[in-house]
């Protein structure tokens, strides 16, 4: 078996495909114009004389997978347990295995152990063999393929080609491969991004930063699943004696602004400034490059390393230029564009806070209905901003309540007040002219007061303001509770009106027949049902389709979101039953009236029934839309909750 080319690197190893920063700060006079910060290796890398076919310790070297300035990687057979592994042979220094031994995750290359050969001055790090190539080979294929011809098949073809090159038989089918084959190219990038973000989230929970994310360090399994590799310059804050300075490094082409600044001896930044958001930035650069075929920055022109760092730093302290935004493919969802631009924010406080939050955003990009809720397609006709539906909501709330008020007034005037003395009838009109407008004004103010926080936050987000995660979480839950609260306000006011109206009439006009209270109660049930059920669907539609997605775009939902989304779905079914019952309640109620009374209000009941049927049809249509939207949002939230619980 012959040696593999440098660009393959199918183990946890980075060939010299990009300029790499290595070690902590060095004196300026020690640096050379080589594209690296820190000293270049002056001697041949350890194990240079090792070739496939030889044996070292417990390993038969079968195939060279990659090599660079500091190490060689071989496909090897571990004799003691007869398994294939990738063996990385390097100089004996560092505590890399201690860091890597903490990491056991589906999307991170599994490191088994290390062996030190002091007589040779070598360290053998043996790990899971991942045969499907790297994202570097996928990137080369992307650049050679026209944008309109890219799809999930491109990723699978790159994996299959790598498998054949290594004598492996490509997988015929698997659930993951079938899923990828059906994706567009932007969706494929989101599919990869979600899994790599989960890997970062897992490493972050163990205090480990990667700090050298790039295509050559992402390996691909036979089913195309990505596995993050080469944590050899990672840093763990859970290991005694491990410090960022001791492991400082990274690739200039993918570094975040704070990483670039920390790598330059003449700038004030330090390695302590690096956290998971620096890894998220590098991941964003890599995924943008995978999506478009090039990185979202101009090439650095400086010849010396420090000059390159300064030039790159200047570029990355600015937002992505329009010329690079134009590289995004036509079928790129607005959600994916937003997610990647947030990853690439110059200020780390403006990026996603952690890998779990980013993973959920990528999951959102993979659900067509959910992503269109959060980020309306650019070619769509949906107006922008959180306030435009408010006039529609006002009409949806006002029409049922005004109809209920008219029915209540007509019903009570015909069956109750019309049979009283003229003085009492006048008193009824006087009370009605005060009570109805007052109730409408007070109820409207109370609804606005209830929604004030939601409107304030949504307007602030629309204007670019930032809010803490705790505030956004509370706001999302508050939004999901809003429809029930507004419906409750309407019902309470109708209930209060059913109690207060006859009491006030009795105070103004003197004694009122006892049967009057029964009539008021019947009209209360009908009008309360109208005011309760029909506006609920309009408000829920607004919350689910516009308000909640605004908050979801700026944070990460969790188990509380899942529970409240499910509660909202259950309540919506109950309110649909109430909407269907309005005509039935109206018709049933009049059957208890004497025949002459029925004839006197028959037109009002007919209008109520026809309006109730129309209202139910509209409510049923909205119920279907709301149900689909809730299920889409729940899928995203439930996926995040499941991932967060997996260790």
H, E, C per residue of 290-328: HHHCCCCCCCCCCCCHHHHHHHHHHHHCCCCCHHHHCCC
- Predicted confidence (pLDDT) at residue 173 exceeds the cutoff of 90: no
Banded pLDDT at 459 (limits 50, 70, 90): confident
Banded pLDDT at 509 (limits 50, 70, 90): low
Fold of the domain spanning 131-235+245-366: Transferase(Phosphotransferase); domain 1 (1.10.510)
Q: Structure pTM? A: 0.78
Instruction: Tell me what pLDDT residue 46 has.
Output: 57
pLDDT (average), residues 356-364: 92
Token pair, residue 216, equals 């050559």
Percent of the chain with pLDDT over 90: 34
Instruction: Tell me how far apart the alpha carbons of residues 565 and 630 are, in angstroms, rounded to a whole number.
Output: 6
Among candidate residues 554, 535, 568, 522, the one with its CA nearest the CA of residue 457: 554
Instruction: Tell me what pLDDT residue 61 has.
Output: 94
- Work out the mean pLDDT of the chain and round it to a whole number: 80
In terms of pLDDT, which residue wins out, 435 or 193? 193
Instruction: Tell me what pLDDT residue 625 has.
Output: 94
pLDDT (average), residues 558-564: 87
Instruction: Tell me what pLDDT residue 413 has.
Output: 74
Instruction: Tell me how far apart the alpha carbons of residues 543 and 568 are, in angstroms, rounded to a whole number.
Output: 11
Instruction: Tell me how far apart the alpha carbons of residues 384 and 607 are, in angstroms, rounded to a whole number.
Output: 37
Banded pLDDT at 503 (limits 50, 70, 90): confident
In terms of pLDDT, which residue wins out, 258 or 37? 258
Residue ranges of domains in the chain = 54-128, 131-235+245-366, 396-639
Instruction: Tell me what pLDDT residue 575 has.
Output: 92
Banded pLDDT at 342 (limits 50, 70, 90): very high
Token pair, residue 593, equals 């009236």
In terms of pLDDT, which residue wins out, 289 or 261? 289
Banded pLDDT at 37 (limits 50, 70, 90): very low
- Predicted confidence (pLDDT) at residue 382 exceeds the cutoff of 70: no
Instruction: Tell me what pLDDT residue 642 has.
Output: 53
Task: Give CATH for domain 54-128.
Answer: 3.30.200.20
The CA–CA distances, whole Å, from 146 to 149, 154, 159, 324, 635 equal: 5, 11, 19, 17, 33
Banded pLDDT at 249 (limits 50, 70, 90): low
**HSE (side-chain half, CA atoms, 13 Å) at 454:** 24
Q: Given 3-state DSSP classes, what are the helix, strand and coil percentages for the chain, each rounded to the nearest 5? A: 60, 10, 30
pLDDT (average), residues 452-465: 86
Among candidate residues 202, 196, 194, 230, the one with its CA nearest the CA of residue 105: 202
Banded pLDDT at 512 (limits 50, 70, 90): low
pLDDT (average), residues 9-25: 38
């Amino acid at each position: 078996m012959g040696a593999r080319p440098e660009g393959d690197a199918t183990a946890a190893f980075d060939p010299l495909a990009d300029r790499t920063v290595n070690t902590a700060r060095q004196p300026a006079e020690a640096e050379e114009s080589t594209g690296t910060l820190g000293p270049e290796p002056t001697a041949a890398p350890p194990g240079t004389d090792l070739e496939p076919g030889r044996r070292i310790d417990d390993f038969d070297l079968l195939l060279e997978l990659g090599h660079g300035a500091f190490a060689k990687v071989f496909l090897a057979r571990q004799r003691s347990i007869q398994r294939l592994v990738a063996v990385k042979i390097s100089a004996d220094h560092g505590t890399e295995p201690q860091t890597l031994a903490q990491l056991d995750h589906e999307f991170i290359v599994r490191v088994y152990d290390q062996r030190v050969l002091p007589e040779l001055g070598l360290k053998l790090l043996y790990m899971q063999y991942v045969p499907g190539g790297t994202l570097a080979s996928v990137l080369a294929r992307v650049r050679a393929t026209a944008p309109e011809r890219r799809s999930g098949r491109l990723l699978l073809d790159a994996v299959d080609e790598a498998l054949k090159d290594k004598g492996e038989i490509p997988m015929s089918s698997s659930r993951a491969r079938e899923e990828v084959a059906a994706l567009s190219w932007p969706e494929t990038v989101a599919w990869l991004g979600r899994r790599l973000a989960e890997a970062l989230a897992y490493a972050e929970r163990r205090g480990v930063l990667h700090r050298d994310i790039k295509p050559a360090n992402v390996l691909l399994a036979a089913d195309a699943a990505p596995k993050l590799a080469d944590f050899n310059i990672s840093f763990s804050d859970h290991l005694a004696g491990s410090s960022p300075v001791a492991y400082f490094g990274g690739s200039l082409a993918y570094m975040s602004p704070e990483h670039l600044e920390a790598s330059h001896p003449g700038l004030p930044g330090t390695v302590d400034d690096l956290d998971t958001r620096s890894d998220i930035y590098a991941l964003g650069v890599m995924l943008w490059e995978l999506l478009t075929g090039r990185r979202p920055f101009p090439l650095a022109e400086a010849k010396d390393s420090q000059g390159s760092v300064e030039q790159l730093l200047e570029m990355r302290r600015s937002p992505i230029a329009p010329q690079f935004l134009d590289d995004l493919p036509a079928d790129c969802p607005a959600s994916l564009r937003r997610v990647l631009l947030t990853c690439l924010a110059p200020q780390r406080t403006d990026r996603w806070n952690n890998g779990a939050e980013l993973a959920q955003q990528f999951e959102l990009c993979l659900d067509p209905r959910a992503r269109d809720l959060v980020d309306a397609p650019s070619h769509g006709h949906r107006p922008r901003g959180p306030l435009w539906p408010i006039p529609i909501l006002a009409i949806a709330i006002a029409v049922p309540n005004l109809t209920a008020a008219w029915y209540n007034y007509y019903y009570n005037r015909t069956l109750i007040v019309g049979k009283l003395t003229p003085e009492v009838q006048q008193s009824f009109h006087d009370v009605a002219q005060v009570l109805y407008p007052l109730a409408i004004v007070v109820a409207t103010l109370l609804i606005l007061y209830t929604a004030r926080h939601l409107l304030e936050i949504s307007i602030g987000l629309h204007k670019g303001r930032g809010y803490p995660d705790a505030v956004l979480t509370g706001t999302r839950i508050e939004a999901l509770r809003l429809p029930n609260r507004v419906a409750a306000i309407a019902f309470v006011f109708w209930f209060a009106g059913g109690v207060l109206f006859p009491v006030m009439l009795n105070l103004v006009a003197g004694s009122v027949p006892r049967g009057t209270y029964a009539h008021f109660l019947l009209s209360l049930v009908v009008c309360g049902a109208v005011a309760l059920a029909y506006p609920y669907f309009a408000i829920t539609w607004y919350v689910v389709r516009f308000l909640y997605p605004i908050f979801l775009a700026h944070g990460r939902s969790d188990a509380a979101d899942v529970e409240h989304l499910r509660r909202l779905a259950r309540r919506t079914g109950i309110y649909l039953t109430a909407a269907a019952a309005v005509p039935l309640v109206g018709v049933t109620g009049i059957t208890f009236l004497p025949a002459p009374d029925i004839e006197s209000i028959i037109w009002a009941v007919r209008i109520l029934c026809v309006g109730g049927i129309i209202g139910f049809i509209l409510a049923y249509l909205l119920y279907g839309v709301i149900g689909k939207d809730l299920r889409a949002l729940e899928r995203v939230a439930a996926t995040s909750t499941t991932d967060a619980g997996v260790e």
